[in-house]
Structure 1
Amino acid sequence: MDILLNVLKDRKITEEITISGSKSESNRLLILQNLFPEISIENLSDSDDSVHMQHALSTDKETVDIGHAGTAMRFLTSYFAVKEGRETVLTGSKRMQNRPIEILVNALKDLGATISYEDKVGYPPIRIKGKKITANKVQINGNVSSQYISSLLLIASKLENGLTIELVGEITSIPYINMTLSLLHQLGIEAHFEGTIINVFPKKEVDHQTVVVESDWSSASYFYSIMASSEIGSSIKLSAYKKESLQGDSCLAEIYQHFGVLTTFGENFIILKKEKETRKNILEIDLRDAPDIAQTIAVTCFSERIACNLTGLHTLKIKETDRLEALKEELTNLGASILVTNKSLHLQKSSEIKENISIKTYNDHRMAMAFAPLALRVPIKILNAEVVTKSYQKFWDDMQQIGIKIDKL
């Protein structure tokens, strides 16, 4: 489905939106729930990724296809490795079969897991023969994907002797590692992270409890972008959020002050309010701890006609698409002057935004959603718009609720 988004004019936004639970928290908790059936979960994400995860955990088929769900691929690799007596072929979409998994597979093999490649070495599909693992020490690079580390952490307490992980090199996306550890702590699992060493102690069962998933901060980013380009006095109330969030993307509240957007925290909600115009000429920020919001911020800067230097983006090369090259391509088509490296993005201040440009989404949900707020400036076309369901089922409904007119092409 291709759509045309029409520009908003002379409209002050005042709306309330409820956003589904965090995909990151939900997928971690789904793994933990299958390891510890004493857990109940509320406000689960309704994203395609979480649906794929639930299906993968409930099926008894040998071949498990998780589509585009990268988090599910990483977390399930470790999960099936410790499912004694079960043999699983874990596969996904064509893009997923070109996303690396070797670092995680090697770490699991070092622990004694039995995993082989069905086709190309280092990439899915992989064949996993579940077995009991007694080894309790492993090294893994800390600078590629925190999901590899979280994958190991999620199964660690179910290993007979627990697990000690030594992180080698620079450690990126630390908030996501801390999110996993915080969920373990919440369940009563003992774990410590000091320096480059993470220790997780064995736990046979946890207390019966219900865990409520906080709404997704990455999904909130698109409303921050909308507020940045809206009239002064506009506001959007989003639920359900909390000030002491486990999600690294909650740094949005601080970042978007640069665009005149103030965040007020209430009881399980936030209110975003446009208080003043963007005055900064250039935004320089290191996003190594929150790379998923890079696309939104880059498009906001372009919309607000300010320059930006975004660094810490090396993990974007191995996402649903090469997000840095995709951003460069689509922003250039809109009239931007932009340079990307393997780990950074540099956007110059733009004087114009071209109208009625078709934005390719590259099977990447965040490309579609990051560019949608440009409709406050110019009419814009989004190709393959249904890709947003990967993380945000109601995205286009919520865009219409705040006043963006959507026409199918």
Structure 2
Amino acid sequence: MTKIATSSLQRLYIAPSSRLAGTPIVPSSKYYTLRYLLAATLADGESRVFFPAESDDSEALFRGCRALGAELSWEDEQHTVLHVRGVGIPHNDGSVTIDVGNAGAVLRLLLGLGAFLPDVTFVTDHPQSLGKRPNRELLEALTALGATCESSDPEGYLPITIHGGKLHGGEIAISGARSSQYLSSLLFLAPLIGETLEIEVVDGLKSQPFVRITLDILRMAGIAVEHDSELRHFTIAGGQRYQPREYVVPGDYPSAAALLAACATASDPSSLLQLARLQPGDEVGEPLLAAFRALGADLQVNNDTVTLRGGRRLHGADIDGDQIIDCIPVLVAAACFAEGESVFYNIESLHYKESDRIDDLCAELRKAGCAVMPRQDSILVQGRPRGIEGGVEVDGHSDHRVLMALAIVALRSQRGLTLTGVEHIAKSYPHFFTELQQLGADIQFIS
């Protein structure tokens, strides 16, 4: 079997497949890799990060941490252990430019820390994707803390230049309506300011599990954060210091979700998937597994291993997507083959991802023959348990999550699907199509 290298591909044909089986290695978590590496970068001393995620987003993160002053080096040829010599408070002489690629979370968490530098500019080579994602609320908060922020647009689009270095504490407000990443950015920044900072979250808070992950990792790094139970008010004492640690990155639940959804929709009852290194009690993992169970998936958990048997009849469900926002596209794909109607709600933030993961995803699914209806805050799905026609070309919209969803749908189509823009899978899961091949999928390169 030829390994599919997505760095140079643009189109793939995915044929119908009734059976998927295997024990693939789940990629490491992007969420934890990002936060562990930032904590290590901000520590006074040497840290080690075991099993960091390997992807385009990770490369953008590595560039950003080096620009903040950290020294990064691999301890082994397999790239399983990353040694980090932390910088403490970020510093760099002169002007710095950081290319964040198409990594939205990397950008937003680095924007806050970049405010310690005298002059830093953030750029992207994806102007139609990350270049159109707003950062206004975060830039306003950084301005209130003493930085000067310049953007190409009032909504805070890239490129962004920050003139910082002289930050102060006090009281600020940040909106949580569009993204929890704004708040996480401020939480990483706050301990290094020489004064106490109080943060008030207004307009609600989307994707709370990611904030809880941030808080857990800050505690691991020796940082004290006082907050209420609803994550609306935070107090962070100034003058704290991150401590060097050893961090072990768990498997990535959103990547696992794509594999689980593919197996759950397989029609052959001998389909079987076993995924290890998935952290029990995970803030994203627990609601994700609950969503699969709500759809009727035959799923079992034993410590850090999840086993799913395919060939079972799925049924419709109403699923609150806020806690599992990055998993929604593949869950929608699975629901396309369930009996009855499914509703995925509380997902408005999907409009503001690498693509419009509500409107763009639904447009491509409808091309393939799925019955889906986009709404401002939800997606309605009328399941078609017998499968769909397929036989068309669909566009991934430069979005790794949309590509995963379309691949799942292709496997249950009668005539397969041709996917365009598949090189963008490298953003989070470079070997996704190879993994599907190894599970039994028929995937062909189109020159």
| 1:303-338 per-position Cα deviation (integer Å, ceiling 9, x unaligned) | 335421111111111110111111221121122333
Matched, 1:113 2:147: yes
Does the alignment pair 1:139 with 2:176? no
1:42 aligns with 2:76: no
Q: Secondary structure at the match of 1:219?
A: helix
Change over 3 Å in CA distance of 1:329–1:121 after alignment to 2: closer
> Residue 243 in 1 paired to residue 258 in 2?
no
State the distance in 1 between where 2:12 and 2:27 align.
23
Comparing 389-398 with 222-231, greater Cα deviation is found at 222-231
Decide which moves more: 59-68 or 220-229: 59-68
2:359 aligns to what?
325
Look up the SS of the partner of 1:323 in the other structure: coil
Contact 1:262 1:275 in 2 (8 A): no
Are 1:31 and 1:79, in contact at CA under 8 Å, matched by a contact in 2? no
The answer for the alignment partner of 1:178 in structure 2 is 212
Partner SS state of residue 165, structure 1: strand
The reply to whether residue 20 of structure 1 matches residue 27 of structure 2 is yes
Which TM-score applies when normalising by structure 1?
A: 0.92
Contact 1:253 1:262 in 2 (8 A): no
Distance 1:186 1:226 in 2: 35
Deviation at 1:119, TM superposition (A): 5.5
Q: CA deviation at 1:289?
A: 1.8
| Alpha-carbon distance in structure 1 between the residues aligned to 2:242 and 2:147 | 25
- Match runs of 1:15-164 below 5 Å: 15-36=22-43, 37-59=45-67, 62-83=96-117, 86-92=118-124, 93-94=126-127, 95-118=129-152, 122-164=156-198
Q: Report the CA distance between 1:348 and its aligned residue.
A: 2.3
SS in 1 for 2:37: helix
SS of equivalent residue, structure 1 residue 211 = strand
Equivalent AA in structure 2 for residue 34 of structure 1: T
Q: 1:168 to 1:127 in 2, by over 3 A?
A: same
TM-score when normalising by structure 2: 0.85
432, 435, 445: which is aligned to 1:398?
435
| Structure-2 change in CA distance of 1:28 and 1:207 (3 Å) | closer
Compute the displacement of 1:288 (Å): 1.6
Q: Structure 1: which 5+ runs fail to align?
A: none
Deviation of the 1:17 alpha carbon: 1.2
Q: What secondary structure sits across from 2:358 in the alignment? A: helix
1:376 is aligned to: 411
Shift of 1:385: 1.2
Residue in 2 aligned with 1:360? 395
Deviation at 1:56, TM superposition (A): 2.2
Name the structure 1 match of 2:330: 296
Structure-1 separation of matches of 2:391 and 2:401: 20
Q: What secondary structure sits across from 1:371 in the alignment?
A: helix
Question: In the alignment, is the contact (CA less than 8 A) between 2:42 and 2:242 conserved in 1?
Answer: no
Q: Find the counterpart in structure 2 of residue 225 from structure 1.
A: 261
Alignment of 1:278-289 (within 5 A): 278=314, 280=315, 282-289=316-323
Distance of 2:336 and 2:311 partners within structure 1: 20
1:5 pairs, out of 14, 17, 22, with 14
Structure 2 CA distance for aligned equivalents of residues 292 and 110 of structure 1: 31
Inter-partner Cα distance in structure 1 for 2:326 and 2:167: 33
Letter in 2 for 1:390: K
Q: Matches of 1:34 and 1:208 in 2, distance apart?
A: 9
CA distance in 2, matches of 1:202, 1:134: 9
| Aligned equivalents of 1:270, 1:308: Cα separation in 2 | 24
Structure 2 CA distance for partners of 1:259 and 1:339, relative to 1, 3 Å: closer
Change in Cα spacing, 1:146 to 1:249, as seen in structure 2 (3 Å) is farther
- Shift in Å at residue 221 of structure 1? 0.7
Cα distance in 1 for residues equivalent to 2:366 and 2:175: 34
Match for 1:29: what amino acid? Answer: Y
Kept in 1, the 8 Å contact 2:297–2:308? The answer is: yes
Q: Show CA shifts across 1:221-253 (max 9, x none).
A: 1122122112335322213112121x4254221
Contact 2:264 2:334 in 1 (8 A): yes
Whichever residue aligns with residue 370 of structure 1, its letter is A
Residue 203 of structure 2 aligns with which residue? 169
- Matched residues in 2 for 1:261 and 1:340: separation? 24
Deviation at 1:157, TM superposition (A): 1.3
Moved more, 389-398 or 205-214: 205-214
Partner Cα distance (1:322, 1:225) in 2: 21
Structure 2 counterpart of 1:407, which letter? Answer: Q
2:292 paired with 1:256: yes
CA distance in 2, matches of 1:267, 1:298: 27
CA distance in 1 between partners of 2:419 and 2:56 (Å): 19
**Partner secondary structure for residue 54 of structure 1:** helix
For 2:322, what is the secondary structure of its paired residue? coil
Matches within 5 A, 1:340-355: 340-350=374-384, 353-355=388-390
Cα shift at 1:173: 0.7
Taking a change above 3 Å as real, the CA distance of residues 218 and 203 of structure 1, as seen in their structure-2 partners, is: farther
Equivalent-residue separation in structure 2 for 1:382 and 1:305 (angstroms): 26
Q: Share of identical aligned residues, percent?
A: 25
Q: Report the Cα offset of residue 15 of structure 1.
A: 1.1
Does the aligned pair in 1 maintain the 2:148–2:163 contact within 8 Å?
Answer: yes
RMSD of Structure 2 on Structure 1 (CA): 2.0
Paired residues of 1:219 and 1:392 also in contact (CA < 8 A): yes
